[in-house]
Structures are given as structure tokens and as C-alpha cells.
């Protein structure tokens, strides 16, 4: 029987993961009816609340996970990895979603500093210098995952080989005979986006191909972002014959734009995504994509945090886990003119 997770309870209760987390951690700001439903599901599933380990410090027996978005499979995959390690360590996991809103980030930071958390994992976070200094002043350990910008060398962080992933995706399309290849990155401000697009450009240059400026677009990491960007690409006088999408959610938008224009994938346009989320094998056609080890990134970040909490020396403050190209049905040879 699969292990019951916070995401399982949230899905069945039709609430967010942070709401389940609040009930588990005894917060009072959850409606009585909702709390009763969550408590019932926890009991029915036999959810094992972590036992408090013996620790000599004065902090509480939980760690925090702060993430921009838990509405996607991407965030839930990282959550699964963090939750696994927290459970093994006998720690409760408190989850907060800030949805890219500065006010929620400030509120989370104030809340975290007012309670006795062991430490925090910050996913896709854009902590400013003052916030980092405040965490350091309070001696609260934290680890960054896929930070918005390059973290300082003394800040523990976990990421993936985004440059290598972008290179592999583009090299694969070049090997299929494509020469006019577009890239749809996520938001240009994100470090992961810039690395993936840099890998794309590098692969083109290594093969003697030009990286045309009009073939590179940036969009939010969701379906509509990919849809809008792909529409613009397909409207070019000389549209691309292949598109590297910087996330699987962006790729779903590319599929929609191609269908609306009557283009067949991969016969008339090949598509490669990034992430290898659980729905990609069931897309029609099944999506070729770059696997990003999201659950493993969550595991690595949580283990790194526990080492810092326990005063252990880190072998390295930066961990990058390998990406891998997963070839399915959405990429094929360039069609003859």
C-alpha cells in the first residue's frame, strides 16, 4: 500500500497542502468543519505523525518548507522528497506556499522567526540580503532549492544540471535534422531559466547553427505561457520545426498551439519539455523531455538541512543533481520541404 502523504490528504479533503500542514501542527486558523474532515482522513489513512526525537537544542521538533507554488506536480514532487526525510528523522513538516507574493514571504519569515523551527527549506525563493541576514542573525539554518538567483557560496543550496539539460534537449533535436529550433524559457529572471536557455544556445553554436533572437521566448511556467509563446513562434514568417520548452507545463501549451494551427507533433513540429512530470508519458503524443530529479532534490535538501542543524560539516555548499533526456514520441526527424 502506497505511503500516505500530505498531498494525499489534501487531495481527498479538497484543500491545499499548507492547510493539512496547519492541522498537523495545531494551528488555530482552520475552519472547524475543514479541520474535522482532515482529522478524519488522517485517521482513516493511518497517517503516522512523526515522533519527536531526543534533541538537546531548544528549538521545536519540526522543519519548514517554503515554496512558491504547490498547485503543480513540480512542487508536489519536491514536497514528497522533503516529507520522506522529515518522517525518517521524526520531524513534523510545516508547509507554506507564498505564490510569488512579497507580502506572504515577509509574513512567513516573521512567523518562522517567532516560533521554534529547527530550520527551513526555501524553494524558488528570492530572499533579499536583509532577509538572509535576519535568518543568519537568528542562527536559523536554511537551504535553498532552485533559487531565483545564484546563491552566495556560503549558503547551502540544491539544484539540477539545467545547462546540461538544455544542451541535451537541443542536441537531440539537432541530431534529428532540425536547424530552426526555438526555445521557450520560463521567467527570464530565474537562474534555472537562464541556464537552460544558455545550454540551448551552446548546443546550437557547437553545431555551427545560429541562435536566432526571434526564436527565444520567455513565459510563466504554465500552460497559458507556453500557448501564447508558441502562437507567436508559429506566426513567424519562417516558423520553427522544433521547440524546446523550458518546462513540461509550457510544453502542454505548445501542444495546444500546434493543434489550433493544425500542426501534427512530431511530423510538423517536434517538442521537447523539461521536468518529466508524471503526466508526460500520457500526453498525446507522449512527451520527450529532460528529467529533473525533483523528488531527489527534495531529499537532498532535507538531508543537507539536517546536517547543518546537527552541526555537521558539509562536503560542499552546492549540490547539483544530474538531469537526463527521456526520449518518447514528441520528437522526430525534420519533415522534408
- pLDDT tens-digit map of 325-337: 999 999 999 877 6
Q: How confident is the model at residue 39 (pLDDT cuts 50, 70, 90)?
A: confident
Distance CA 67, CA 100 (A): 9
Distance CA 138, CA 67 (A): 21
Q: What is the pLDDT of residue 17?
A: 80
Enter the C-alpha cell of residue 250.
Answer: 509550457
How many percent of the chain have pLDDT more than 70?
87
8 Å CB contact between 259 and 195 = no
Distance CA 193, CA 197 (A): 6
Top mean-pLDDT range of 20-34, 118-132, 141-155, 279-293: 279-293
Same fold across 62-160+294-322 and 162-292:
yes
Question: How far are the Cα atoms of 6, 30, 111, 148, 308 from residue 19, in angstroms, in the given order?
Answer: 10, 7, 16, 26, 28
Three-class secondary structure of residue 144 per DSSP: strand
Q: How confident is the model at residue 76 (pLDDT cuts 50, 70, 90)?
A: confident
CB neighbours (10 Å) of residue 27?
Answer: 14
Enter the C-alpha cell of residue 326.
Answer: 527521456
Computed over every residue of the chain, the mean pLDDT equals 87
Q: What is the DSSP letter of 312?
A: P
Q: What is the pLDDT of residue 113?
A: 65
| 62-160+294-322 classified as CATH 3.40.50.300 | no
| pLDDT tens for each residue of 257-272 | 999 999 999 999 999 9
Distance CA 89, CA 61 (A): 10
Distance CA 203, CA 205 (A): 5
Q: How confident is the model at residue 246 (pLDDT cuts 50, 70, 90)?
A: very high
Q: What is the pLDDT of residue 52?
A: 44
Number of residues assigned to the chain: 337
Enter the C-alpha cell of residue 169.
Answer: 534537449
Distance CA 227, CA 167 (A): 23
Q: What is the DSSP letter of 293?
A: -
Judged on CB neighbours under 10 Å (0-12, 13-18, 19+), 102 is exposed
Q: Does residue 234 have a pLDDT over 90?
A: yes
> Comparing 87 with 230, which gets the higher pLDDT?
230
Question: How far are the Cα atoms of 34, 100, 189, 196 from residue 150, in angstroms, in the given order?
Answer: 40, 18, 11, 14
Sketch the domain layout of the chain as residue ranges.
6-45, 62-160+294-322, 162-292
| pLDDT tens for each residue of 40-67 | 888 788 776 654 443 434 456 889 898 8
Q: What is the pLDDT of residue 55?
A: 43
Distance CA 251, CA 273 (A): 6
Ramachandran angles phi, psi of 82, nearest 5°: -65, -45
Q: Which CATH class is domain 162-292?
A: alpha beta
Helix orientation angle between 294-309 and 73-88, rounded to the nearest 10 degrees = 40
Q: What is the pLDDT of residue 184?
A: 98
Enter the C-alpha cell of residue 281.
Answer: 508519458
Amino acid at each position: 500500500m502506497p505511503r500516505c502523504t500530505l498531498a494525499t490528504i489534501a487531495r481527498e479533503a479538497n484543500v491545499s497542502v499548507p492547510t493539512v500542514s496547519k492541522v498537523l501542527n495545531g494551528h488555530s486558523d482552520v475552519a472547524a468543519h475543514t479541520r474535522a474532515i482532515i482529522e478524519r482522513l488522517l485517521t482513516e489513512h493511518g497517517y503516522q505523525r512523526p515522533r519527536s526525537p531526543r534533541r538537546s537544542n531548544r528549538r521545536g521538533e519540526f522543519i519548514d518548507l517554503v515554496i512558491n507554488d504547490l498547485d503543480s506536480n513540480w512542487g508536489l514532487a519536491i514536497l514528497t522528497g522533503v516529507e520522506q526525510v522529515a518522517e525518517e528523522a521524526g520531524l513534523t513538516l510545516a508547509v507554506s506556499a507564498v505564490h510569488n507574493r512579497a507580502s506572504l514571504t515577509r509574513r512567513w519569515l516573521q512567523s518562522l522567526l517567532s516560533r521554534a523551527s529547527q530550520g527551513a527549506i526555501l524553494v524558488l525563493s528570492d530572499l533579499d540580503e536583509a532577509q538572509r541576514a535576519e535568518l543568519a542573525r537568528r542562527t536559523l539554518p536554511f537551504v535553498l532549492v532552485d533559487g531565483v538567483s545564484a546563491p552566495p557560496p556560503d549558503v547551502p543550496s540544491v539544484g539540477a544540471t539545467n545547462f546540461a539539460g538544455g544542451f541535451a534537449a537541443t542536441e537531440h533535436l539537432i541530431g534529428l535534422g532540425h536547424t530552426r529550433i526555438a526555445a521557450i524559457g520560463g521567467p527570464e529572471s530565474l537562474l534555472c531559466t537562464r541556464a537552460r536557455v544558455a545550454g540551448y544556445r551552446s548546443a546550437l553554436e557547437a553545431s555551427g547553427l545560429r541562435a536566432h533572437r526571434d526564436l527565444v521566448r520567455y513565459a510563466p511556467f504554465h500552460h497559458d505561457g507556453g500557448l501564447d509563446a508558441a502562437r507567436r513562434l508559429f506566426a513567424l514568417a519562417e516558423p520553427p520545426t522544433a521547440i524546446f520548452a523550458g518546462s513540461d507545463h509550457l510544453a502542454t501549451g505548445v501542444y495546444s498551439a500546434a493543434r489550433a494551427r493544425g500542426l501534427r507533433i512530431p511530423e510538423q513540429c517536434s517538442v521537447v519539455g523539461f521536468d518529466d512530470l508524471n503526466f508526460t508519458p500520457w500526453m498525446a503524443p507522449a512527451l520527450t523531455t529532460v528529467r529533473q530529479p525533483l523528488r531527489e532534490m527534495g531529499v537532498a535538501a532535507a538531508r543537507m538541512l539536517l546536517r547543518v542543524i546537527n552541526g555537521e560539516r558539509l562536503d560542499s555548499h552546492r549540490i547539483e543533481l544530474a538531469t537526463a533526456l527521456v526520449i518518447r514520441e514528441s520528437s522526430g526527424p525534420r519533415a522534408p520541404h
